[in-house]
Amino acid sequence: MTRVLHVIPGLDATQGGTVTALMSMAVFQARRGLKVTVAATWAGENPPRDAEQKLREAGAEVRLIGPANGPLLRHAELEPALATLVGRADVVHAHGVWEEIQHRAAALARAARVPYVLSPHGMLDPFNLGKKWLKKKLYVLWRLRHTIAHAAAIHFTDETERDLAAPLTGKTPAIIEPIGIDLAEFAQVPPRGTFRSHYPQVGERPVVLFMGRLHPKKAPDLLITAFAQARAGDAVLVMAGPDSDGYRARLESLARERGVADRTVFTGMLRGEQRVAALAEADVFALFSHQENFGLAVVEALACGTPVLISDQVNIHRKITEAGVGAVAPVDVPEMAALLTQWIEDAGLRRAAAGRARGFVEANYDAERVAGHWAGHYAALAAARGSS
């Protein structure tokens, strides 16, 4: 039984896709029979007990270290805790690249001759490297380039992510595996009307759904503007996701300025059945991000049989086009508006895409199947360690 140590700076689901991806991987790997341990720092007043419980219920061991402080999320117990956990692992798998926990885990793994995998989760994309670029460039020179060069492998969720990161990853071997979803969660979606019963202002009108953090990177402002320009009839734009640094208030103001405040509904972050109900209730799902490493909500929408409209900066966009389960536009308001118009007006187009969506997800994004692939990857890395 391969012993895998996952390390991540935080398990708060509101932090975004990195935490969701880690949870999917760790839970299904543990269910498959791997000996999984998750070490995570935490900041603030309380550790993330919901995530901890879910991991433990799946059979994973959890070590929470905190409260961590500073931009690198340091803590006095981090090094000794990781030293013990790395010493018990066959493979270390680090999620993210910028915090202390990934650096310490990689350094300890090198010292113990334990292979480690890095999952950058889009953080090596040029778009993300361009944010606070000077600090990141210095960090790359100080630490990260060495960490990457000595990794047993870099994990990418798509060939596009691999190609975008190539200037930094060089000759380090690549593992390409998508993030899987729990198909059981979407096997029987809530009946039509479930979501609308919680948000009666939606009524029986067509729904365009955005689901994700309300953050400038995801271009919700452009989506609101495009929705206002589209021939959308009485369609409603549902903005479902947690606020990021007060951005929701700006979006609400923008909806008023564009004349669609009465057709825009902000729900906050949806969880559990409400989240699935929203995905299933939508006529189309829209995500026109400036950059999206994977787009887990895109896959979840498809699992509910909902066609997706995404930007060509969402890394899985080629697969969406090839499978005929949605459509792609550049991050350009007129083209986004035209796409929204086409898909809102054409019910036959939506039905055809919806008919292909579930099968596409089952073939490519089943978390149970992806966990099986990871079992093979980890076993090969552990075996290579033993033969070296």
Q: How large is the C-alpha radius of gyration of the chain? A: 21
Architecture of domain 183-364: 3-Layer(aba) Sandwich (3.40)
Burial pattern 337-362, b for ≥16 Cβ within 10 A else e, equals bbbbbebbeeeebbeebbebbbebbe
Q: For residue 313, how many other CB atoms are within 10 A of its CB?
A: 21
> Which pLDDT value is given to residue 14?
74
- The secondary structure element, H or E, covering residue 50 is helix 49-58
Taking the C-alpha atoms of residue 6 and residue 26, their distance in angstroms, rounded to an integer, is: 8
Q: Closest Cα to residue 106, out of 39, 162, 55? A: 39
**Under a CB-based contact definition with an 8 Å cutoff, are residues 328 and 317 in contact?**
yes
Assigned CATH topology for domain 3-180+366-387: Rossmann fold (3.40.50)
> Which pLDDT value is given to residue 44?
87
Taking the C-alpha atoms of residue 141 and residue 131, their distance in angstroms, rounded to an integer, is: 16
> Which pLDDT value is given to residue 386?
63
> Which pLDDT value is given to residue 16?
73
**Below-70 pLDDT ranges, the chain:** 386-388
Taking the C-alpha atoms of residue 226 and residue 292, their distance in angstroms, rounded to an integer, is: 19
> Which pLDDT value is given to residue 152?
98
> Which pLDDT value is given to residue 1?
86
pLDDT digits (tens, 9 = 90+) for 343-364: 999 999 999 999 999 999 999 9
Q: Where in the chain is the domain with CATH 3.40.50.2000?
A: 3-180+366-387, 183-364
> Which pLDDT value is given to residue 387?
60
> Which pLDDT value is given to residue 45?
83
pLDDT digits (tens, 9 = 90+) for 316-325: 999 999 999 9
> Which pLDDT value is given to residue 15?
75
Terminal alpha carbon distance of the chain: 20
> Which pLDDT value is given to residue 388?
55
**Under a CB-based contact definition with an 8 Å cutoff, are residues 317 and 311 in contact?**
yes
